[in-house]
Chains A and B, each alone.
Chain A
Amino acid sequence: MSMARGITSRAHPLWLAYILHRISGLALALFLPLHFWVLALALTDPARLDGFLTLTDNGVVKLAEFGLVFLLAVHMFGGLRVMAMEWLPWSAPQKTLAAAAAALSFLIATLFFLQAI
């Protein structure tokens, strides 16, 4: 079965919400050690931290920050969606919730991005 065929059966909102949640979680897990390391510089090497922070004026870094906030938002709302779906006996269309979670995440990340530039 070709790759395209493998994707066909998964191209529906709930599966996409699942994979978005999983990938955002993995990406955040990879980011966190780096994040803590940079924070630790405040104690170990403040000058180096200041040098690093000037990088945040860079447009590419701003775009990366947008991505980071998007990951956080999408993971948080995705998690809330899963908990609501599994713990509250809702029969409401889960597709709507999944779409709303993604849309709200995107809105928040975009607002942050607009404020940053």
Chain B
Amino acid sequence: MGSLFTVTNTRFLEVTVERDEGKSQAFRVPAYENQTVLDVVSWIQQNADPTLSYRFACRVGMCGSCAMMVNGVPRWTCRTHISKVLEGEAVTIGPLLNLPVVKDLVVDMDPFFDKWVAAEGVHHGGLTRDDPIAAVDEESAARVEANAGIECINCSVCYAACDTVAGNPDYLGPAALQRAWTLLNDAKDEGRIAILDAVSGSGGCHNCHSMGSCTTYCPNELDPMSAIAGLKRETAKSFFRRGR
């Protein structure tokens, strides 16, 4: 048995990293019992090629910064065990789809967050600090709907998984629309009309074809597709009531 610093590996992983301008690069990475996809990428950067760029922060599935395409599927790499995705001993890792690549595995998240704001995914407060704190009924149907979406970590996995985003660059996407649905159901948010206007435009909720890849791949098991269906109902009701 080797000491702590001389671990001898009998298994190696064949890792293909999709780098700039569609160029792929192969690496042999020692396999360990406990190893996430992020660990594999980190090993490459620390031991094989220090120029490899990637992004991570918390390593525990909270910050939403380490999402990548793993064998063609968008995943949070820090919480994805390598054994779950290996095909034989091989795995292919690439940058998230539907976002501009900055370098290697790093994508520009600006369009994703810009759409978050464009969908009115911001707090629309109606009270001041001098008002008493409004009571929230945790049991109400609206609060249950709102609670369903609040664990979003903005990792953009749903955005990368969505074929509607790929086909229409103006489409707000699952995460931003789910945020809009959460705020629409939040008793403390008073932006109802602004939200409905924002999500019923040309890039809004009615673009969604209910392909369900967002819900299938959300690492926190949220359901953006159903949230978008909720927005479709509310915008339609609003149209028939207000004519807009």
Q: Does B154 contact A (CB under 8 A)?
A: no
Among A5, A10, A85, A86, point to the contact of B92 (Cβ < 8 A): A5
- Asked whether B229 lies within 8 Å of A8 as measured between CB atoms, the reply is no
Q: Does A82 contact B (CB under 8 A)?
A: yes
Q: Does B207 contact A (CB under 8 A)?
A: no
A71 CB to closest chain B CB, in angstroms?
19
Among B72, B161, B226, B233, point to the contact of A87 (Cβ < 8 A): B233
Question: Which residues of B have CB within 8 Å of A94?
Answer: 210, 212, 225
Choose the segment among B38-46, B169-177, B213-221 that binds chain A (4+ C-beta atoms closer than 8 Å).
Answer: B213-221
Interface size on B, residues (CB 8 A): 25
Given contacts A85-B229, A89-B233, A91-B226, contact A12 B94 (CB under 8 A): no
B111 CB to closest chain A CB, in angstroms?
20
- Asked whether A9 lies within 8 Å of B215 as measured between CB atoms, the reply is no
CB-based A-B contact count at 8 angstroms: 58
Given contacts A85-B229, A86-B229, A87-B233, contact A9 B212 (CB under 8 A): no
A8 to B92, CA, bound (A): 13
A33 CB to closest chain B CB, in angstroms?
25
A1 to B211, CA, bound (A): 21
Q: Does A14 contact B (CB under 8 A)?
A: yes
Among A7, A10, A85, A86, point to the contact of B213 (Cβ < 8 A): A10
Overall SS of chain A's interface: helix
- Considering the complex, which residues of chain A in the window 68-116 have a beta carbon less than 8 Å from any beta carbon of chain B? 82, 85-87, 89, 91, 94
- Asked whether B213 lies within 8 Å of A12 as measured between CB atoms, the reply is yes
Given contacts A9-B73, A91-B226, contact A86 B232 (CB under 8 A): yes
A40 CB to closest chain B CB, in angstroms?
35
- Please name 9 further chain A to chain B contacts, defined as beta carbons within 8 Å, in addition to the given A5-B71, A8-B73, A94-B210, sorted by A numbering: A5-B92, A9-B74, A14-B210, A14-B225, A15-B216, A85-B229, A91-B223, A91-B226, A94-B212
30 CB-based A-B contacts, threshold 8 Å? A4-B72, A5-B72, A5-B92, A6-B72, A7-B72, A8-B71, A8-B72, A9-B72, A9-B213, A9-B217, A10-B213, A12-B212, A14-B210, A14-B211, A14-B212, A14-B213, A14-B216, A15-B163, A15-B212, A18-B209, A18-B210, A85-B210, A86-B229, A86-B232, A87-B233, A89-B229, A89-B230, A89-B233, A94-B210, A94-B225
